[in-house]
Amino acid sequence: MKAPSKTEIEKLLKHAQQPAADAMKLHPFYKGKIEIQPKCCIRDYNDFAIWYTPGVAAPCKDIQANPEKVFEHTNKWNTVAVVSDGTRVLGLGDIGPAAAMPVMEGKALIFKYLGGVDAFPICLDTKDPLEIIKTVKYLEPSFGGINLEDLAQPKCFQILDTLRKEMNIPVWHDDQQGTAAVTLAGLINALKLQRKIMSDVRITMVGAGAANIAIARIIIKAGVTPGNVIMVDTRGTLHKDRTDLKDKFPEKWEFCQTTNRGNLKGDVAEALTDAEVLLALSKPGQDTIKKKWIIQMAKDPIVFVCANPVPEIWPWEAKAAGAAIVATGRSDFPNQVNNSLGFPAIFRGALDVRASTITDGMCIAAAKSLAAYAEKKGISDDYLIPTMEDWQVYSEEAVAVGMQAIKEGVAKLKLTEQELRLRSTAIIKKAYNTTRLLMKEKVIGRPTRT
């Protein structure tokens, strides 16, 4: 691919910087992105005798006698808490719980608009993993699911594993399972375009944080050969002699034992030599991955550079260095590999069958559903997986997740595929149409364009 001219690069950079500029105008304009609206009818003030006292005592007593009735009488069946301590926010690092709120509100907005899920941002003023675990457990009566977000490692693993064991509602860490599911979807179709077999492909993973560790686990379960994977952290490749990781980072140590068949010891450049796929979820900013490293990869490599808010290398630079397929985590470039394609629908499916957990199998089912939907539309080097505009995919993905939950025996409601499809479609369409109606009626105002 011909390298872009200086003028073209300036235009591309300006385009890439525009979302941040717009965000600084629109966040203070709306003063938040979500709010609570009634969902029940209020014909006149007499109806409050039904929705509140004295009538509300009847459903309260019914729930006391039959605890599962809380899913019938309240909105618990459709609610998710988005919980963070603000220690690992996007590529910004430890910015604290207050500064994390715009991200958590954005998450809640996407939950509702794309999945019809009522999500609430909850940023905790503690970094103590035991306090976080205790606090989240206290929330269980009020929520149908927990979405952990932007928690630093290694505590994110402890928090997730403990809560999944000790809570009776689905708990997942979106930076782990969500990112893994969408990355797998993109990888499935990228390999199809390259006519490569998943079990044969050589993959270098740059970054060994929560996201890439979860991605490695999921793609290996989906068919990637562990020995064909080389992971790289800030100190070099993970290999059998990295005893510095054994006690402090047991998750990394596990991959030291199972990946990197040749026990390669080196840096990113050496790990990328002759690699067919790059999965980078590491330090944001151009030049984290250098053009010369991509040049030394195998012919026509697949390059996923998914750090946010700025990818490890600009996609046009990766293409100029020989990459055949490039994906980023941004919606303003082709091939957005972002967990926004996963979490709304995965939780939709889990909530619809009242799943007790979200398994790796459910994540893989979501990934295959995303990949199949894009393939039906016609995949290409610039269209690996659906975009957020393909709203119908969220219903299909929810169905796949719900059916997998039933298959694995973690669902309390046994619905048919058709019942799940009708249910999820109706809920998602309602959320979409409600927002459009509020905009049309100018209940949601539009800012003056500048």
Give me the active site residues, please.
52, 107
Q: Do you know the residue count of the chain?
A: 450
SS3 396: helix
136: nearest Cα among 93, 84, 210: 84
Q: State the Cα–Cα distance between residues 118 and 238, nearest whole angstrom.
A: 40
125, 149, 151, 440 from 101: Cα distances, Å = 12, 11, 13, 28
DSSP-derived secondary structure letter, 111 = H
Bin 300: left if φ > 0, else alpha if -120 < ψ < 50, else beta: left
Cβ pair 169, 143 in contact under 8 A: yes
List CB contacts of 303: < 8 A, sequence separation 6 or more: 277, 278, 280, 289, 294, 297, 313, 318, 323, 325, 326, 327
38, 167, 401 from 77: Cα distances, Å = 16, 15, 16
